[in-house]
């Protein structure tokens, strides 16, 4: 009897050890975990509804403007995804197509804005370009804290 209890106890401890060593989100889709900051930022930018909400706040968009801009951003997201997944394109061709798609959607968005909003939007896009250039210049080490 003691042997069975000892075996059961050891088996339980062994099983708990395996559970503790398992990756935290394995098979559990209902856990609310925060994704890494970089990935989270990419998702927020790629989500057309969040982008419309962000632009709505920064540019004081009307509901009608938001309704005009949402399909533009949705189309841009789909276009960018398909370009990114097209393995037949060279890196240079991919960049060129993405730039063209971005400029096209940018022009469509501007068409829905008034003059004051266009000016603010242009400033926001310039700041975005400067951030991107800064990150490119910094390289992959920029994400790591410097000592």
Helical residues (DSSP H) of the chain, grouped into ranges: 2-21, 37-46, 48-59, 63-85, 91-111, 115-138
Average pLDDT over residues 57-83: 95
Predicted TM-score (pTM) of this structure: 0.62
Average pLDDT over residues 98-127: 94
pLDDT at position 100, please? Answer: 95
Nearest to 108 by CA among 138, 60, 73: 73
Average pLDDT over residues 52-76: 95
Per-residue model confidence as pLDDT tens digits over 81-109: 999 999 999 999 999 999 999 999 999 99
């Amino acid at each position: 009897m003691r042997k069975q209890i000892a075996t059961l106890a050891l088996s339980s401890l062994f099983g708990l050890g395996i559970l503790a060593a398992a990756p935290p989100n394995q098979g559990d889709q209902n856990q609310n975990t925060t994704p890494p900051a970089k990935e989270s930022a990419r998702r927020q930018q790629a989500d057309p509804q969040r982008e419309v909400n962000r632009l709505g706040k920064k540019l004081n968009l009307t509901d009608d403007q938001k309704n005009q801009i949402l399909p533009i951003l949705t189309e841009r997201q789909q276009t960018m995804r398909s370009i990114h997944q097209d393995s037949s394109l060279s890196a240079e061709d991919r960049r060129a197509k993405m730039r063209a798609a971005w400029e096209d959607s940018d022009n469509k968005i501007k068409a829905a804005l008034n003059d004051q909003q266009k000016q603010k939007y242009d400033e926001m896009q310039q700041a975005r370009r400067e951030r991107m250039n800064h990150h490119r210049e910094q390289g992959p080490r920029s994400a790591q804290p410097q000592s």
